[in-house]
Amino acid sequence: MKILQFQQQGRRTHQEDFLLLNEAAGLFLVCDGVGGSAKGEVASSLVAHTIAGQVEKAGQATTDVSAVHQFVKEAQYALQTRLADHPEEAGMGTTLAMLRIQDGKAVVAHVGDSRVYYVKPGKGLYWRTNDHSHVQMLFDTGVLKSEEEMDRHPMRNIISRALQAKADETMVEPDVAVVQNLQPGDLFLLCSDGVLEPYTPTDFIALLGNKDLKPEEKKAALEAACAAESRDNNTCILLEIGAEDVAQNAGENTGLTMRAIPSMLALNDEEHALGAPEEVSRPSASAASETPDAKEPHNRGKNQPLLNRTQLLLLAGILLMIVVLAVIYQIPDTNLAEAESAAGKTDQKPDNEVHSLQEDNATNHRAIEPEANTRSASPTAKANSPVLSENGAEGKPKDDVPPASTEVSTPNGSDHRKALEKLMKNKETALKEKLAGQYAELGSLAENRMAVKDASSNWGYVNEHGALVIKHQFKMANAFSNGRAMVIDDKGNRFTIDNTGTCRENCPTQ
C-alpha cells in the first residue's frame, strides 16, 4: 500500500483539522473540528484518538459495520466526558472521514462534509461519500441539479450532522459503506472540505481519476493548489492499493454504485463542466465488451462524430436563415457580438452574492443544522494507541470566504507536471532561504519535510514552515519518500524511520 498525505493550516489563524493513520491496523482518519472558540481542535483530536483506541482494542473485528458504529458512538461518549469537565466547550464538534482496510476489503464511515473518495483510474469509475449538508439535501430533493450548483451555493458550508459534545447527550450515526474485492491500483482519498476549495467537482475527480498521473503527482497537485488558493485548513490522505492488500482470487465486484470519471481532455466541454456525473453500475465482462462506452465513457468524443447527418442539415438550414435575416434587416456583426456577450454574462453568477452572505457568518466556519438523533449514555475514557498523528495548534476563527472561480483552464500533462515542479522548487528555495544560517547543511524538501544538519553534524527534519519535527539524532539522513526516510546513526547502522522518527525497517538492536 502506498500512503501519501499532507496537512496545511491555510489562511486560517488556527488549525482544527486532525490527521491520524495507523498503517499496521489499516486505519486512516481525517477530522475537521467545528466550533472555533469552542475548541474544535480538541474535538477532532479526541474523536480520532478514541476511534483508534477502539480499533486497537477490537482487533480483527473492526471491518464489521456494527463495530464501526460502536467506535463512533464511543467517540461521542468521550466528547460527553470531556464536556462534563469543561462545560465552557459546549458546542464543540468535528466531522469524520474514516477508512479501515483489511483482507482485501475496506469499510468507509463519515459524518459531516469531510469526504472519502474511492477511485478506479484504470476503469474510469469512482464513488464518494455524500455530505451531511444543507446543499446535499437540496440536491437530493431536486432543488439543485448538479454538483457544480452545490459547489457554488451560498449555504454550502452549512452541515447537518457532526460529532458534538452536547448537554442533552444526543448521538448521531455515521454513514457506513463497504468496498468489496479491492484491486491493485485502486485509490482512496480522505480529505477535509478545504482540499476541495480550489477545484470544481468535475476538475477534482478528473485529477484523481487521471490514469496517466502517478499518486505522487496527484498529491503534489492537490497540495500545491491548496497552498495557492484554499483559505481553509487542508488535510488529505491518498492511498494506492498494492498487490499485497488484495485478497486471493478476489473478483471485480465493488459492492458500490460507481460513477463515470470525466476525461481530463474534456474539462472545457460544456457538457462535462456543467452536467452532473452520470451514475453507472459496474458492467460485467460481457457487457463491457459489447458496450465500450460504458467501460471508457470519456472516449466518446474520439470515436463518434460530433454531429450526425440530420443535425448537420439542420445546422446548415439555421445558418442560412441567419444570413437571410441579416441581409433583410441589415443587422451589423457588432450587434450580434454584443448580443452574444450579453447572453453569456447572464449565465454567470456574481461573486458578491456569495461574499455578502458569508460575511454575515464571519465568526463561524460552518453552521450545524440539528437533526433527530438517538440517546445513549455510559461515557468512556479516551484510549491511547500507537498511531502516527499530525495536529495543528489551537482553534481557528471561521471567517469563510468562497472558493476561487470555477473557470479552470486545464493544462496538458507535460505542462501540468512542469508547473508542479516549479511550485515545489519555489517552495524548497523559500524554505532554504528561511533556514539559512540556522543549520550547517540542508537536504531537499519531500513530503513537506526537509533533512537538516546542525553544527554537531547530527541530522534531523523540519517541516515546510521550518519547525523541527524530528530531533537531530542521526549522523546522516535523506529526504522522505512514501512516508519513510533512510537514516544512518553514529554506529553506521542504516535503518528507516517514519514521520515521527520511529524506526520502521532494519531497526538496530538495542
Task: List, for residues 351-360, the tens digit of each pLDDT value.
Answer: 333 232 233 3
More confident residue, 343 or 146: 146
pLDDT band at 268 (very low <50, low <70, confident <90, very high): very low
Look up residue 186 and give its three cell numbers.
485502486
Residues 6+ apart with CB under 8 A from 93: 33, 34, 35, 40, 43, 79, 162, 163, 164, 165, 368
Residue 178 · residue 255 · CB < 8 Å: yes
Domains defined along the chain, listed by start: 2-248+349-375 (3.60.40.10), 413-505 (2.40.10.480)
| Cα atoms found within 13 Å of the Cα of residue 95, Cβ hemisphere only | 31
What's the average model confidence in pLDDT over 124-131? 94
pLDDT band at 464 (very low <50, low <70, confident <90, very high): confident
Complete DSSP assignment for 294-362: HH-GGGHHHHS-SS-HHHHHHHHHHHHHHHHHHHHHT--HHHHHHHHHHHHHHTSPPHHHHHHHHHTTT
What's the average model confidence in pLDDT over 123-139? 93
Residue 68: predicted pLDDT: 92
Share of the chain above pLDDT 70, in %: 67
Spatial separation of the C-alpha atoms in residues 437 and 206, rounded to whole Å: 43
Spatial separation of the C-alpha atoms in residues 400 and 77, rounded to whole Å: 30
What pLDDT, in 10s, does the model give residues 210-261?
988 999 999 999 999 999 888 899 999 999 999 888 877 666 667 788 899 8
What pLDDT, in 10s, does the model give residues 61-88?
566 788 899 999 999 999 999 988 888 8
Q: Is the pLDDT of residue 13 over 70?
A: yes
Residue 486 · residue 461 · CB < 8 Å: no
pLDDT band at 416 (very low <50, low <70, confident <90, very high): low
Residue 96: predicted pLDDT: 97
Q: Which helix (H) or strand (E) holds 48?
A: helix 40-58
pLDDT band at 414 (very low <50, low <70, confident <90, very high): low
What's the average model confidence in pLDDT over 11-28? 91
Residue 61: predicted pLDDT: 55
What are the angstrom distances between the C-alpha of 55 and each of 26, 72, 361? 10, 11, 37
Spatial separation of the C-alpha atoms in residues 497 and 94, rounded to whole Å: 31
3-state helix, strand, coil in the chain (%, to 5): 35, 25, 40
| Length of the chain in terms of residues written | 510
Q: Is the pLDDT of residue 419 over 70?
A: no
Q: Is the pLDDT of residue 329 over 60?
A: no
Residue 398 · residue 91 · CB < 8 Å: no
Spatial separation of the C-alpha atoms in residues 148 and 270, rounded to whole Å: 12
What are the angstrom distances between the C-alpha of 490 and each of 439, 445, 463, 508? 19, 24, 24, 11
More confident residue, 354 or 458: 458
Task: Using a cut of 0.75, tell me whether the model's pTM lies above it.
Answer: no
Q: Is the pLDDT of residue 277 over 70?
A: no
Spatial separation of the C-alpha atoms in residues 267 and 103, rounded to whole Å: 37
pLDDT band at 449 (very low <50, low <70, confident <90, very high): confident
Share of the chain above pLDDT 90, in %: 32
Residue 249: predicted pLDDT: 65
More confident residue, 303 or 97: 97
Range in 49-58, 310-319, 374-383 the model is least confident about: 374-383
Q: Is the pLDDT of residue 6 over 90?
A: yes
Q: Is the pLDDT of residue 116 over 80?
A: yes
Q: Is the pLDDT of residue 147 over 60?
A: yes
Q: Is the pLDDT of residue 315 over 60?
A: yes
Spatial separation of the C-alpha atoms in residues 207 and 212, rounded to whole Å: 10
Instruction: With CA atoms as reference, report the closest residue to 86 among 171, 165, 168.
Output: 165
